[in-house]
Amino acid sequence: MSLGLFFLMPLATACLLFLWRPAATQSRRLSLAASAILVVWAFTIVARCGDGEVLVHTFGNWAPPFGVVFVVDRLGALFIMLQTLLLFVTLVALRPEAHGENTVKRAHPVLMVATFGLFGAFMTGDLFNLFVMVELVLVSSYMLIQMPGTKRSLVAAVPMIVINTVASALFIAGLGLLYGIGGSLNVADLIGRIGEAPHGLRLAALGMLVAAFATKAALVPLCFWMPATYPTLSAPVAALFAGIMTKLGVYALLRISPMLAFEPVLFNTLMWLGGISALLGVLAALSQYELRRLLSFHSVSQVGYLVLALGLQTVFGIAAAIFFALHHSLVKFTLYLVADELERSNNSQDLRQMDFRRPGKVVLATAFGIAAFALAGIPPLSGFFGKLAVFWATFESGEWIGLALLVIASVFTLASMLKIWRFAFQRTPGERESASSSASPFYPVAVIMMSVIIVVFSLSAGPVFNYALAAAEQLYLVSDLPGGGG
Amino acid sequence: MIPIVAASVFLLLAAGVYLLLQKSWLRVVIGLGLIAHAVHLILLSSGRPGGLAPVLLAGAGIEGVTDPLPQAFVLTAIVIAMAMTIYLFAAMAELARRGKRVDVEPVPDGNEEREAEKRQSDLEAKGRTES
């Protein structure tokens, strides 16, 4: 029961905000309070799932695999917690005085609806509900992108909308074929049913699902909607998107990975796509001067790492992917928040026009340093453990070319972080006529919070990795899930 | 039944992809709608269409009855596709208010846009001084 309440809480908050339409400060207070409760609640869910318990909520008491069932296991709980945490920090960072009264006021309810959709996607036990929830998240993200109402924001959403709608069409077509061969869309139930299905149909069905999820996760040939869209969003919202939206695709891939085991060729495809994304993404990032575009190409590269680990088809690889997803969400989110501060103080997103002289420099530079080192994988920060796990999994599977791609990409990652550092932080005063005398004030709370979270996460890398390992093992124990083994 | 469905899916998809590749946004949106309907037909056909109506009568078995679940799925999917299309039309109308043609065009980067805005405000200032 409590799971249903948890799921409905963001929606209830969104409805309240839509109907009541409070001023920006009150709206901010209300959403902060709601998300703070969600964070605490999500931590209790993780604590319960950490012991191996599987939380189940059946709607209308239909016995699984019939009816709608919500299942939260270790993996789902982890992503739910990540979302509540990022939502809270986003709400802290989204200030009326910095981002405009109207932007903030309008963003709150839509952010809550997006959270509702993400919760649903991370909880649902069947693929059709996953589709519905993903659509909910997508519509709220279109609204958030087009909210400023400038021509640029309206045009920028077009590639994302068109590409994601086509991906959703692929998703439905895959679901149709899968239902045709399996007679069920409950994930745990399906895994038991498609074993004897005809090979060609199964490959087509799962292939379409993989293509759809790879688009949402922004892997290389399907990624170009992302760098086009993120630079026009309001910065903290872009941070939330960068943190969690691509992870939605990765989560869906993780969820269906036990099914993909029937068609190993799809795993190999994912592995190669991951390796190529890792390298091409970082090369594209290196050539950019617009800060957020650079960071979003980076996301392509980093998602490549974890999809490669996922494609190795080992439990250790999947655990590495889960750990890396967590690490990348936190770090990329922080980098976007730093980018937000840089953009507002310089009144530009272009690195070449940045000139860094203002209060708060030391705090911001430290936060950027922590996040950038974590991303590049310098010990003792989380990126080091994430990359170590991914490299080790690749090494164990004997995928030498994949390993080489990742190592090369790693070097370029460091180079691109140094590029941001050089342009944004290290320019000597007087090199450019400063226009930042009217610099907006610095709001360090969110950035400091995230830096602390990254450090704590890095220090507790061991227990978190054990949790990820347990989650990866649980992912394959489908007979424990409702509807499985029946 | 299946060959007819397959032919319809083919026609809808072909028309949808053709429209998707056009320049005008109106055509793109209609193309997306056609593609959505093509895949809805695929989903619908997974329930063995053309059988008996899924009504459980006393004494009759479930032999030869169409599976009703995909129909429920498709109903949901159609509603979502409709909502999405309406949203896209609204966004298109908003764009149309700002210019004569609504075409798919490259996304301007931040600096270009700022320059365009500056030009616009310069023009307006000029217009004011002249009048």
A16-57 pLDDT tens trace: 998 988 888 889 999 999 999 999 999 999 998 888 888 888
Q: Euclidean distance between the first and final Cα of chain B, in Å?
A: 70
For B45-80, what is each residue's pLDDT tens digit?
Answer: 888 777 777 777 777 777 778 888 888 999 999 999
Q: What is the pLDDT of residue B120?
A: 62
Helix axes A382-396, A361-376, angle to 10 degrees: 10
Q: Tokens 């594209």 sit at which residue?
A: A284
Q: What is the reported pLDDT for A486? A: 43
Residue type, A317: G
Contacts of B45 in chain A (CB under 8 A): 176, 180
Q: Which of A113, A143, A158 to mutate to test the interface with B (most CBs of B within 10 A)?
A: A158
Instruction: Copy the structure tokens of residue B27.
Output: 């055509």
B96 interface with A at CB cutoff 8 Å: no
For residues A161 and A215, the answer to whether their CB atoms sit within 8 Å is: no
Question: Percent of chain A at pLDDT above 90?
Answer: 41
Cβ contact B32–A165 (<8 Å)? yes
Question: Are A386 and A324 contacting, i.e. CB atoms less than 8 angstroms apart?
Answer: yes
Model pLDDT for residues A224-272, shown as the tens digit of each residue? 888 878 777 778 888 888 888 889 999 999 999 888 888 889 999 999 9
Instruction: Answer whether residue A104 shows pLDDT above 70.
Output: yes
Nearest to A231 among B44, B80, B110 (CB): B110
Phi, psi at A94, each rounded to 5°: -85, 100
Task: Read off the pLDDT band of A437 (50, 70, 90).
Answer: very low
Count of residues in chain B: 131
Rounded (10°) CA dihedral A67, A185, A325, A135: -80
Q: What CATH number belongs to B2-55+64-104?
A: 1.10.287.3510
Q: Which amino acid, A61?
A: N
What per-residue confidence (pLDDT) applies to A36?
94
Residues of A in Cβ contact (< 8 Å) with B46: 176-177, 179-180
- The pLDDT value recorded for residue A428 is 58
User: What's the CA gap between A320 and A451, in Å, rounded?
Assistant: 22
**Residue of A132, A172, A194, A350 to mutate, testing the B interface (most B Cβ within 10 Å of its Cβ):** A172
**ipTM of the complex in this document:** 0.85
Is B10's Cβ below 8 Å from some Cβ in A? no
CA A10/CA A80 separation, integer angstroms = 12
Domain boundaries along the sequence of chain B: 2-55+64-104
Is-cis flag, bond preceding A65, omega within 30? yes
Calculate the alpha carbon distances from A294 to A225, A289, A413 in Å.
Answer: 14, 7, 11
Percent of the residues in chain A that have a pLDDT greater than 70, as a whole number: 94
Q: Is B105 on the interface with A (CB under 8 A)?
A: yes
Name the burial class of residue A232, with classes exposed (0-12), middle (13-18) and buried (19+) by CB atoms within 10 angstroms of its CB: buried
Residue B113 has pLDDT above 80, yes or no: no
DSSP bridge pairs for A55: A72
A350 with B111: Cβ contact below 8 A: yes
Q: Which of 420-449 (A) contact B at CB < 8 A?
A: none
CB contact under 8 A, B43 and A179: yes
CA distance A138 to chain B (A): 10
**Cβ of B84 under 8 Å from any chain A Cβ?**
yes
